[in-house]
Amino acid sequence: MTFVVPEFPPFDPDLAARLEARIAGKAKPPGSLGRIEALAVQIGLIQGTETPRVGAVETYVFAGDHGMNADGVSAYPSAVTTAMVATFLAGRASVNAFAGACEVTVRVVDAGVDADLPAHPLLIDAKVRRGTRNAAVEAALSVDELDQALTRGAEIARRSEADALVLGEMGIGNTASAALIMHRLAPAALDDCIGVGAGHDPDGLARKRAVLECAAARSAADQPLEVLREFGGLEIAMMTGACLGGAEAGKVVIVDGFISSAAALAAIRLAPGLKDRLVFAHVSAERGHRLMLQAIGADPLLDLGMRLGEGSGGVLAAPLVRAAARLMTETASLDEVLSGAIVP
């Protein structure tokens, strides 16, 4: 494997102290803005400055298909992945509606869709292969395919000119892969990781559980790269690379829901110092997500009962990230107010 995992040393304690003092000196009661104050400090530390800025925000919806879907781990066929990619590119999905309201650009990444997609200005062709292999019977990816996915994800994040990146996904069957990743890397009991995904009825959920039990019994992998290789998917592996590459480039990386958090979990297990450089947008209603966030030690910004994916929760958190940065740079200090230096 040629992908090199970056190292993330602890944040500069002197900068942290200056940022905290700067927040404490603002014209407001101490602590009165709660989590936004901590978020403002975190953004300053990520960007390495006392005057952080979050202007442009881009959402990358990484799309890929899953071989396990042949065994019925989803209530929907894999063709829905391709149909939803077209919907994103047409600007008609939920994430597009939210992005328009929040002034966020949506881009789609073909990580491994099981179709040949026509070129589009908002589509990034990073396809490694047309879907993963069936992880219930064999490794989802080869070593080389995993290496390509990690490398391409990191490159996409590094090349972005945005200040903040939202990592979202689309892939029928990807809650199955995410559940297996959580099972091995949290770690957690497999049953605690398995949810209804896109909408299983009880029979469908039982079928999904049986397939995942088979996949888990097939491989004892418990190290991040091997877990990603054994259980997929390409969009998850590519988001893992994007977490690492985006953070290495000093960007604010906003993690969406259950599947995006599985990618972040793998990235953090590869590079533990990464955790404080990620912003976790929300806690999903998908079974297992709250437990996964606890295993990571993450404190999400929102709890809206959402479980859509697509980067939708991350987009809704983007205005909070922008507001936190502006708190640091645009709010007057108490000294300025009391000295009369502030004039209309």
pLDDT, tens digit (0-9, with 9 covering 90-100), for 20-66: 999 999 999 999 999 999 999 999 999 999 999 999 999 999 999 99
Could you tell me if 129 and 186 lie in one domain?
yes
Residue 52: the pLDDT is: 98
pLDDT for residue 33: 98
Show Cβ contacts of residue 133 under 8 Å, excluding neighbours closer than 6 positions. 67, 139, 140, 141, 232
Is 301 found in the same domain as 223? yes
> 207 and 269: one domain?
yes
Is 330 found in the same domain as 217?
Answer: no
Average pLDDT value for the chain: 96
Q: Is residue 6 situated within a structural domain?
A: no
- Domain match, 98 and 48 both: no
Say whether both 300 and 215 belong to one domain.
yes
| Farthest CA pair distance, the chain | 72
Residue 198 has pLDDT above 80, yes or no: no
Domain shared by 48 and 160, yes or no: no
Is-contact 152 126, C-beta < 8 A? Answer: yes
Neighbours of 27 (CB within 10 A): 13
DSSP result, 220-269 = ---SHHHHHHHH--HHHHHHHHHHHHHHHTT-EEEE-SHHHHHHHHHHHH
* Domain match, 76 and 148 both: yes
Q: pLDDT tens-digit profile of 144-155?
A: 999 999 999 999
230-254: pLDDT as tens digits: 999 999 999 999 999 999 999 999 9
pLDDT of residue 75: 84
Contact 318, 167 (CB under 8 A): no
| Long-range CB contacts (within 8 A, 24+) of 321-324 | 321/39, 321/43, 321/54, 321/57, 321/164, 321/252, 321/254, 321/279, 322/54, 322/55, 322/57, 322/164, 323/36, 324/36, 324/37, 324/39, 324/40, 324/43, 324/54
Residue 70 has pLDDT above 90, yes or no: yes
Q: Predicted confidence band at 311 (pLDDT cuts at 50, 70, 90)?
A: very high
Q: What is the pLDDT of residue 197?
A: 78
| Domain membership flag for residue 156 | yes
Q: How many domains does the chain have?
A: 2
Lookup result for tokens 């442009």: 56
103, 310, 330, 336: which is the annotated catalytic residue?
310
| 143 & 39 share domain | no
Query: Mean per-residue pLDDT for 98-107?
Result: 98
The verdict on residue 258 lying in a domain is: yes
Q: Is the pLDDT of residue 269 over 90?
A: yes
Q: Is residue 134 part of a domain?
A: yes
Residue 310 known to be catalytic: yes
Write out the residue range of the structural domain in which residue 86 sits: 57-319
